[in-house]
Amino acid sequence: MQTSETTQQDSPDSSELSDLPQSSNGRGSLYVVATPIGNLDDVSDRMRHILSSVSKIAAEDTRRTKRLLSHINVNTPCFSLHDHNERQKLDYIVQLLTQGDSIALVSDAGTPLISDPGYPLVNRVRNEGLAVIPVPGPCALISALSVAGLPSDRFLFEGFLPAKASARQSYLTALAEETGTLIFYESSHRIKQSLADMQLAFGENRHIVIARELTKTFETILTGSVVELIEILDQDHNQSKGEFVVLVHGAEKKQSDLTPESRKLARLLNEHLPGKQAAKITAEMYGEKKNRIYQYLLEDNEQ
Ligand code: SAM
């Protein structure tokens, strides 16, 4: 087991933000810093502070990051770290950290590593026993989920779907029975095709939410059945422009998903109590959905 420690500041007000937290062994830390997904007002004080205090910033696209840095008056030097050079840069970054330099990792937008570069770096730095510190902030999937009105207790983030049509269709078909909310990233040139594939895989009535251009001027949240959303995009071409998070309501749980214990308790209670009450108590006991249990009792009583 490997651990690394840093002394965190509890609640940094701006007067306390002059130094980075010191690592316990004089080595630098890797800060994984989330940046805005469209609205530059989402820059936090802590993000600005960390970006201005580290020795260097590893950026997915240095030109893009420099625009952000100039907006927030930070002039820390940047170097590039993207999918195609990440592995070559690992030794260099570990060396900087070991000699006491702290580094920030940023991607083009949102949280690094979330459909973005950074996993090999974070993995390596942790394996070296060096500190990796999150600086949380915007993330398109979490922003979309927070406003979608879909169940958020269980969700499965799938990132981008495969580019090839046949691979995409079989990928979606394999997800058809998943009961948690499904979340995908999508681009303007494939959004319509992906919706058509979802119609095939999940049926016409599956409820879908499309979160487009979050935090930007043309932010739009569309909700409806997959068929309704395809129609909206067909009628209004502007709705296919920009960046998208697509969220899909999970599949309904099947009756047989109820555990034998919950079915037994529900039936027993239903001998003395109304079905709704029996379902409510059983749901509380076993953490099941009360509507599913109620439905089960109705069907059981019909037999
Ligand atoms: N790391 C980023 C994050 O934390 O969300 C995601 C990077 S991924 C390369 C880019 C994809 O994220 C876009 O194609 C889109 O699907 C989604 N995305 C990013 N910004 C968005 C926004 N403002 N509105 C909707 N979707 C967005």
pLDDT in tens, 168-204: 999 999 999 999 999 999 999 999 999 999 999 999 9
Residue 250 pLDDT greater than 50, yes or no: yes
- How many whole angstroms separate alpha carbon 289 and alpha carbon 293? 7
**pLDDT value, residue 303:** 64
Mean pLDDT of the chain: 92
For ligand 1, the distance from its centroid to the CA atom of residue 99, given in whole angstroms, is 34
**pLDDT value, residue 301:** 80
Ligand 1 within 6 A of 230 CB?
A: no
Residue 52 pLDDT greater than 90, yes or no: yes
**pLDDT value, residue 14:** 44
Ligand 1 within 6 A of 247 CB?
A: no
- Going by pLDDT thresholds of 50, 70 and 90, the confidence category of residue 4 is low
**pLDDT value, residue 3:** 59
For ligand 1, the distance from its centroid to the CA atom of residue 244, given in whole angstroms, is 7
Residue 24 pLDDT greater than 70, yes or no: no
**pLDDT value, residue 302:** 74
**pLDDT value, residue 15:** 45
* Among 243, 246, 247, residue to substitute to test ligand 1 (most atoms within 8 Å of Cβ): 243
Higher pLDDT, 7 or 86: 86
pTM, to two decimals: 0.83
Residues 199-226 have a mean pLDDT of 97
Three-class secondary structure assignment of the chain: CCCCCECCCCCCCHHHCCCCCCECCCCCEEEEECECCCCHHHCCHHHHHHHHHCCEEEECCHHHHHHHHHHCCCCCCEEECCCCCHHHHHHHHHHHHHCCCCEEEECCCECCCCCCCCHHHHHHHHHCCCEEEEECCCCHHHHHHHHHCCCCCCEEEEEECCCCHHHHHHHHHHCCCCCCEEEEEEECCCHHHHHHHHHHHHCCCCEEEEEECCCCCCCEEEEEEHHHHHHHHHHCHHHHCCEEEEEECCCCCCHHHCCHHHHHHHHHHHCCCCHHHHHHHHHHHHCCCHHHHHHHHHHHHHC
Residue 114 CA: nearest ligand 1 atom is 1
**pLDDT value, residue 147:** 98
For ligand 1, the distance from its centroid to the CA atom of residue 142, given in whole angstroms, is 10
Give the percent of the chain with pLDDT over 70.
91
For ligand 1, the distance from its centroid to the CA atom of residue 119, given in whole angstroms, is 17
- Going by pLDDT thresholds of 50, 70 and 90, the confidence category of residue 17 is low
* Among 194, 195, 210, 244, residue to substitute to test ligand 1 (most atoms within 8 Å of Cβ): 244
